[in-house]
Chain A
């Protein structure tokens, strides 16, 4: 047995030394460690040995096994590095015109939902507004009536760059103060984009996700307008039969605060697994912009009122395309992204 092991060792060390390609090395690896590899089969024969012999053979076997593995891996590295040397001889060669291959392209499902939403609101005079992902604690929280150390901060678990000062925006509402400051009423603006939370990731939670939010300020803006905007969007996305109802909800930067429910698109209100038997799905959060926020934005709350209204495109896409795992959106998994119609 000892001799057999030594022979394998010698033979294969030689083969590895001579190998010049990765393919050859793969073959050697298989011949040794594959299902019917020479080294892989050996331990089956150990049963026949006396225990004394076994005590001597086992360490040798392990030593040779490790040595060969290491040799192959080092040779692989060497072969690769040698091939990298040859790169210097390669060129770009643009003279040779190649055709662009025919492929089926796809827009990301979130792009589809967001573009559809933007176009729907553009029809009634809303424009897109750009706001940063990295923002001050002031713009993301304090100016929105969410002071430091207020219990309401529990609603947003935050990723900080400088604690208490600079953070990754937790919601698109960081656009609100900019929209109010940079525009005079009537205002119809929307902000779409990435937001971040300190969140353990699972099928329903992501630390990186998209939000949509609109800001509407004018004279006599009311909760009845909020009901209209909610119906307007969700009927455009899910069809005219979708019912929408408002309910109380607390956000520090609106008063009154509003939650927006849509009749469950799966069971049409009867109650099912998706809606937890309730018949309704919470689709959006909204409210009448808090007078403190309007004032901070230089707008007189005695003359004007406004609506802030937002929803999560990932959730909407999950409902519309029956996607069950929110992690797929940022996965780059082409089985998912190429599979959606």
Chain B
């Protein structure tokens, strides 16, 4: 949400400087993404404060945290008795509220400079006077609006329904879109718009528009989210539908919009309100005891009450009534957060952990891994970490059977498509890269997970240690074997590892004579081999490279 500073000053008699406000908001309310002389951008990504997607909501919040005076009051809602626009809502769950006002006698012009500035400070481009009203109202109240040119709506009859099989629409951006279970606004013949996401071309406001059908509605957030994602249209309106809207606010916004059109010479000639238009008041219980125990500070009851009242809550005994604009408040802990932030998180003193620590848990596994890393580093090896994926080069050059690998269904690129089931190919890639950077001797290791698909259940993940050695000799496995014996804490003279020639080498990944399964104390723990020079050559280097790969579990 980009907050226009001059607009905010219209709504609030601010008693601190903008600089101080910018420093205070992150401590009391929400992080700031960016600030410039015209606007402050609140970091709303994923956030649950729907009310902060409106200037009115931001003004109320600013007033509460700065003790400033609010320059606005709730809009009076009193719609005259007029004929109705014909509306059919086919699915109430997807569209619990649908309101439409017919306004005639309009003239499409350039917007006033003050409007253009308000919009541009808020990050929205001015279109024309009639369309701009809908955006100004959305910014002020957080309620999206849409104006249809009445000429584009057959018989001025609006239907809200799901899209039909193979139905298409051309949206305002000129694109023709195939529809798939999208919520639509239609007339008796054609789709007029993707509900809550984008209007259609046929009913767009143009220079010759004189009569509009002004829509204010509440749509199902999940349906809107799916449509916005499916069509790649993350609009300002869609964002607000997804965060949630209130009926009280909708009626105020509609009323304010009609007034703006009337001031432009427009005439309200018909209005229809479909659905239950009253918000259910929410009451949440709050106990002083829970406030103190969860925050860890004794906050006097008067201060608790005062904090909540400043934010628009009312409190009677332990019952707190939530203001209609705070959809995010549902449980006691939500209220405690309100009290805590008004108190100032930064004022909460540190409190040592009390109570008996739990019984010690077996830490053999993490301790073993760290000790092994230390032993290897002390032996002169450098620890590396590589991706949990195989690079596309590795996949191609090793000719792995990709069907045996775990596949990402939405990879960022071919470099994140398949998960590794061995560590050593990634180490080989690292060895080659470092040789090209001029290294003449490379001794590296990685301890990390490999991922093995399972028919059922979650894939199997196990920790392995892999070592790769390039020491400039034409038989680096000799030295690697000595390193292996050191890890096992065995005397190399007593053939610490029993090497069983590995006859399985169908892809010729390994040297025909230097390719072994490693047996230790009677069990197979992994492999040790020289990588086939052909494979090394494919990575653009000539040196001999030996690798070892062992299951950590087998070593403990």
In the complex, chain B residues whose CB is within 8 Å of the CB of A227: 296, 348-351
Which of B28-36, B131-139, B248-256 faces chain A?
B28-36
Segment of A46-54, A62-70, A128-136, A318-326 engaged in the interface with chain B: A128-136
Chain A contacts for B437, CB-based, 8 A = 333-335
Known contacts A252-B48, A258-B345, A338-B382, A151 near B221 by CB under 8 Å: yes
Is the pair B381, A103 in contact by a Cβ cutoff of 8 Å?
A: yes
- Are A288 and B333 CB-contacts (below 8 A) given A84-B533, A106-B377? yes
Q: A227-B348, A259-B31 are in contact. Are A130 and B333 (CB under 8 A)?
A: no
User: Chain A 89-130, CB within 8 Å of chain B: the 1/0 string?
Assistant: 011111011111111111110110001001000101101111
In the bound complex, what is the Cα–Cα distance between A332 and B427 (angstroms)?
A: 8
B305 within 8 Å of A by Cβ? no
Contact B381 A134 (CB under 8 A): no
Q: Check B348–A223 contact: CB distance below 8 A.
A: yes
Q: Which residue of B lies closest to A194 (CB)?
A: B388
Tell me the chain A residues, 312-330 only, with Cβ under 8 Å from chain B.
Answer: 329-330
Contact between A333 and B481, CB atoms less than 8 A apart: no
A257-B349 contact given A90-B475, A107-B374, A222-B296, CB 8 Å threshold: no
Report the minimum CB–CB distance from B489 to chain A (whole Å): 14
In the complex, chain A residues whose CB is within 8 Å of the CB of B333 = 255-256, 288, 290-291
Least Cβ–Cβ distance between B246 and chain A, in angstroms: 16
Of B106-114, B178-186, B194-202, B358-366, the one with at least 4 CB within 8 A of chain A:
B358-366
How far apart are A310's CB and chain B's nearest CB, in angstroms?
Answer: 16
Assess whether A249 is in contact with B31, with CB atoms less than 8 Å apart: yes
Residues of A within 8 A of B380 (CB): 100-105
> Which of B10-18, B116-124, B509-517 lies on the face that meets chain A?
B509-517
B486 at the interface (CB under 8 A from A): yes
Contact at B514–A98, with CB atoms within 8 Å?
Answer: no
Interface string of B28-52 (1 = CB under 8 A from A): 1111000000000000011111000
In angstroms, Cα B516 to Cα A245, docked, is 56
B513 touches A255 (CB 8 A): no
| With known contacts A101-B441, A105-B380, A187–B358 Cβ distance under 8 A | yes
Within 8 A of B (CB), among A164-197: 166, 168, 183, 186-189, 194, 196
- Can you name the residue of chain B whose Cβ is closest to the Cβ of A132? B461
* Pair B350/A231 contact, Cβ less than 8 Å: yes
Q: Does B398 contact A (CB under 8 A)?
A: no
Q: Is the Cβ of A228 less than 8 Å from the Cβ of B513? A: no
Task: Give the A-B pair count, Cβ closer than 8 A.
Answer: 297
Encode contact with A along B261-292: 1 for CB under 8 Å, 0 otherwise.
00000000000000000000000000000000
Interface residue? A83 (CB, 8 A): yes
Q: Which of A10-18, A32-40, A154-162 contacts B (4 or more CB under 8 A)?
A: A154-162
| CB-based contact B478/A92 at 8 Å | yes
Q: Is A198 an interface residue (CB 8 A)?
A: yes
User: Nearest-CB distance from A313 to chain B (Å)?
Assistant: 11
Determine which of B26, B410, B411, B474 lies in contact with A163 in the assembled complex, contact meaning CB atoms within 8 Å: B410
A338 to B382, CA, bound (A): 7
Partner of A133, one of B351, B377, B388: B388
Contact of A130 among B348, B365, B412, B483 (CB under 8 A): B365
Q: Which residues of A contact B477 (CB under 8 A)?
A: 92
Whether the pair A333, B225 counts as a contact (CB closer than 8 A) is: no
Q: Is the CB of A100 within 8 A of B379?
A: yes
What interface size band does chain B fall in?
35 or more
A199 at interface (Cβ–Cβ under 8 A)? yes
Chain B residues lying within 8 Å of A24, measured Cβ to Cβ, are none
Contact B46–A245 (Cβ < 8 Å)? no
- Among B67-75, B92-100, B205-213, B336-344, the stretch that binds chain A is B336-344
From the candidates A91, A199, A228, A256, name the one contacting B353 in the complex (CB within 8 A): A228
Interface-forming stretch among B77-85, B401-409, B518-526?
Answer: B401-409
Q: Are B430 and A118 in contact (CB under 8 A)?
A: no
Contact with B along A68-91 (1 / 0, CB 8 A): 000000000000110110011011
Instruction: Please state if B341 and A224 are interface contacts (CB–CB under 8 Å).
Output: no
Residue in chain A with minimal CB distance to B497? A94
Give the residue name and chain of the A residue nearest to B244 (CB): A151
Given A151-B225, A333-B434: A224 touches B345 (CB 8 Å cut-off):
no
By beta carbon, the residue of chain A nearest B408 is A159
Residues of B within 8 A of A98 (CB): 478-479, 482
Minimum CB–CB distance for B223 against chain A, Å: 9
Contact check, A198 vs B412: say whether CB atoms are below 8 A apart: yes
Which of B383, B416, B481 is A106 in contact with, Cβ under 8 Å? B383
B174 at interface, CB cutoff 8 A: no
A219 interface contact, C-beta 8 A = yes
Closest residue of chain B to A188 (Cβ to Cβ) is: B358
Quick check: is A20 within 8 A (CB to CB) of the other chain? no
Contact A80 B499 (CB under 8 A): no
Decide if B451 is an interface residue (CB 8 Å cutoff). yes
List 4 A-B pairs, minimum CB-CB distance, nearest first.
Answer: A224-B296, A222-B296, A125-B357, A103-B380
